[in-house]
Chain A
Amino acid sequence: MTATATTQRPLPVPDTLSTPFWAAARDHALHMQRCDSCGHMAYPPEIACRACGGDHLHFAPVSGRATLHSWTVLHEAPAPGFRDRLPLILAVVELEEQPGLLMSTNLVDADPAALRIGMPLRAWFENITDQCALVQFRPAGR
C-alpha cells in the first residue's frame, strides 16, 4: 500500500479477518464475529476467541442497538477528510448483545450538549464510496 497523502476521509482496507465485516456494512448490515464454541462476540475480529480460546469464529448479524459508553467532540478536523463534518462526535458505543462489546464510531444527528452515558443509539450506514459504507450511530427513535 503506498502511503499517498489525501484530502479524503481514510478508507478501511479489508483484510483476512475483516472482509466479512466490511462486506456486511456495504450491504448496510452490522455483523459481529462470534465464537462457535461459547458464543462470545469480538470487535474488532480476532484470530481466536479471547473468552474460550476457540478458533472457529463466524460473523453473525446483530440488532444495531447500542448505548453510549463515552464520547469526545472535535472542533478541528483530525484529518483533512473531516473538515466539512465539524463538530465531529467520536463515540464509543456498547452493543446491546454483549456487555463490554465496544465499538469506536461517530454519532450523527446528535446534539453534543444532550449526550449522556447510556443513551440508546441505533446503527445506520453511510456510503462513503461505491465500495465502502461506514457504520455510524444516531440517537434511537430519530
Chain B
Amino acid sequence: MWAHRNKVAVAGVGYSKLERRSGRTLAALTLEACDAALADAGLLRSDLDGIATSPSMPRYGGRKGVDEGIDIVTPWYLADLLGAAGRVQWIGSTNGMVTQSLIDSALAIIAGLCDHVLVYRSLHVPEGRYVNFDTAHAVGTDQYLAPYGFSMPPAWAAVVLRRYFELHGYDRRDFAHYIAANRANAQRNPHAYWRGKSLSEADYIDARMIADPLSILDCDIPVDGCCALILTSAERARHLRQPPALLTGFAASAYQGASGTPMNLEDMWSGARALGRRLWDMTGLTPADVDTAQLYDGFSVLVLTWLEGMGFCRDGEGLGLLRDGYGDLDGKLPINTGGGALGEGRLHGMTQLAEAVAQVTDRAGVRQVPGGACALATISNGLAKSTAFLFSRDS
C-alpha cells in the first residue's frame, strides 16, 4: 500500500463563471478561479509556492490560436499574473491531462518542494466552428484520419459507442435515463453551465445527431472558464478554512492501444482495467468501498467504459445498470453527482475532481451522497494520459 496514503489533501476549490463566448480573456477567467480557490482555502496569493497545469488547447485543423492569456494560460504566465513568480519553488506543465499535473503536485508536496500548490485548468471555446478541419493538408497523425473526415473527437467516440451498442444489444433509448438524471444533477450544482435547463428522456432521444449514434447531448458542453484546486499536506489542510479531501491514491495509464483509430472500445476497457488494478493495489480498497464515482464524460460512452473497466461490473453490463437507476443520486453508485462535463461544462476532468472533493468534504449541498466517505474520479478515456484518483473523508 502507498506510504503517503491520505497525507496530501485538496484544501480549496474555485471556479470562474462557466459561459459560452464570455467575451473575457482566459487569463481573467483563470485569475477569478484561482482567487476563488485561495479564498475557499483561506489562503493568500503570497502563500502559493507551486503551480501546475496542462495548458494545451485542443486543435483540429490549422487556424486555432495559441496566444498566451487568450487561448492558453501557462503556469509561468500565471505565476507572473499572481505576483508569485519570484517565490514559486516548483512549476509543473504537461502535454497530458491536467490530472497528471495533480499527481505531479502531490508528489512535489510529498517531496517537500512546496507547501501550497495551485492546480488549474483553463479552457475556452475557439472562434468559428469548433472542430472544422478546414486546412488543405493533413500532417502527422492527421494524415491517417482527416482525409477520411475522421478529424473530430465526436466521430472517434461515436465508433466506440456504436460498437458497444452492437456487441451488447443496446441502443440510444437505453442511455436516456442516465442522461436525463445527469442533467437533473446539474440542476443541483451552482457551477453547472446547464443549471436551470432541464432535460427529458424524450429530449435525448430526439437530439440532433453529431456522429450517429452520438448526439449533441452525448458531448460535453464547451465553455469559457477555469476551475482551480489548492493542494497541501493533510496536516496543514486541517488548519485551513475547509475540511480536507484526503488523496488516498491515484493511478495513471500509459496504455496506447491500437493506433489505427484514436479510440477503440476494447483498448479503453483494457487501459481502464490496468489502471483500476493499480489504483486498488495502491490504496488497498476495492470498488465496493467507493460511495460515489465521478467518471469522465467528455462523451457519454466514456462513463460506460470507466464503470466497467474500473471493476464495478462486467463489460457490457454498465448501460443496463445505468438504465435501471444504478448511477442515480439515490442509486447504488451515484455517478457524476454534479452533472459531470455533460452538465457542468468542459474542463477536462476538473468537474470530476471538484465534485469528488465536494462529496468527501460534505460540501455537495442538495446533491450530497449520504455517507459519501470515498469518492472516485476518473479522467480521459482509459488510454495513455488517463488518470484515476480516490479521495477520502478526513475522520
- The residues of A with any CB-CB pair to B shorter than 8 Å are 1, 3-15, 18, 42-44, 46, 50, 69-80, 82, 85, 88, 90-92, 100-106, 112, 116-117, 128, 134
Q: Flag if A6 contacts B135 (CB, 8 Å).
A: yes
Interface of chain B: mostly helix, strand, loop or mixed: mixed
CB-contact partner of A105 in B61, B148, B160, B209, under 8 A: B148
Interface size in chain B (residues, C-beta < 8 A): 48
A100 closest partner in B (C-beta)? B258
Q: Flag if B62 contacts A78 (CB, 8 Å).
A: no
CB-contact partner of B258 in A7, A10, A14, A102, under 8 A: A102
Let me know if B239 is at the binding interface, CB within 8 A.
no
Q: Flag if A71 contacts B159 (CB, 8 Å).
A: yes
Q: Which residues on B sit within 8 Å (CB–CB) of A85? A: 149
| CA gap between A76 and B211 in the complex, in Å | 9
Q: Flag if B214 contacts A12 (CB, 8 Å).
A: no
| CA gap between A127 and B295 in the complex, in Å | 44
- The residues of B with any CB-CB pair to A shorter than 8 Å are 61-63, 131-152, 155, 158-160, 162-163, 166-167, 209-214, 256, 258-262, 264-266
What are 7 pairs between A and B in contact, CB < 8 Å? A1-B137, A5-B63, A10-B135, A10-B147, A72-B155, A78-B151, A112-B212
| CA gap between A74 and B146 in the complex, in Å | 14
B144 closest partner in A (C-beta)? A44
A112 closest partner in B (C-beta)? B212
Given A44-B144, A104-B145, A79 and B151 touching (CB < 8 A)? Answer: yes
Q: Flag if A117 contacts B166 (CB, 8 Å).
A: yes
CB-contact partner of B147 in A4, A77, A92, A128, under 8 A: A128
CB-contact partner of A117 in B150, B163, B259, under 8 A: B163
Q: Flag if B149 contacts A102 (CB, 8 Å).
A: no
Q: Flag if B134 contacts A5 (CB, 8 Å).
A: yes
Q: Flag if B258 contacts A72 (CB, 8 Å).
A: no
CB-contact partner of A3 in B135, B214, B259, under 8 A: B135
In whole Å, how far is B169's beta carbon from the nearest beta carbon of chain A? 12
In whole Å, how far is B378's beta carbon from the nearest beta carbon of chain A? 23
Q: Which residues on B sit within 8 Å (CB–CB) of A72? A: 155, 158-159, 162, 211-214
Q: Flag if B149 contacts A70 (CB, 8 Å).
A: no
Q: Flag if A79 contacts B132 (CB, 8 Å).
A: yes
Q: Which residues on B sit within 8 Å (CB–CB) of A74? A: 149, 155, 211-212
B211 closest partner in A (C-beta)? A72
Q: Flag if B63 contacts A11 (CB, 8 Å).
A: no
Closest 8 A-B residue pairs measured CB to CB? A3-B62, A102-B260, A72-B158, A12-B143, A6-B136, A70-B163, A70-B159, A78-B149
CB-contact partner of B155 in A14, A78, A101, under 8 A: A78
